[in-house]
Amino acid sequence: MKNKNLILRYFGLFLLVVGIILNIKMYVDEAWPTYLFFIISAVGIIQIIASFVSKQMKVSWQILWALLPIILGFIYLKL
């Protein structure tokens, strides 16, 4: 039970940390405010919560759910 959905949890933690670092950098550089960094952090928090709430997933599903927001973000930015 302790090692449940670790890939999804760690990827969510990675997104949360990246979002926080980019948000701090935005304030330090006095750049125009953007909410993309808040969205990145929110996706990370949602993935962490989902890893705790859901039952044990296969590794392939964890990788799919971890990379899905990144893939959708790239698709959205290309359109």
Q: What is the dihedral of CA 79, 49, 7, 11, to 10 degrees?
A: 50
**According to the model, what pLDDT value does residue 79 have?**
79
**According to the model, what pLDDT value does residue 3 have?**
72
**According to the model, what pLDDT value does residue 70 have?**
87
Residues 8-62 have pLDDT tens digits of 899 999 999 998 998 888 889 888 877 888 888 999 999 999 999 888 888 888 8
Burial label for 79, CB within 10 Å (0-12, 13-18, 19+), is exposed
**According to the model, what pLDDT value does residue 73 have?**
83
**According to the model, what pLDDT value does residue 35 have?**
83
In the chain, where are the structural domains located? 6-78
Looking at the predicted structure, is the pLDDT value of residue 2 above 80? no
> Do 50 and 11 touch, CB atoms closer than 8 A?
no
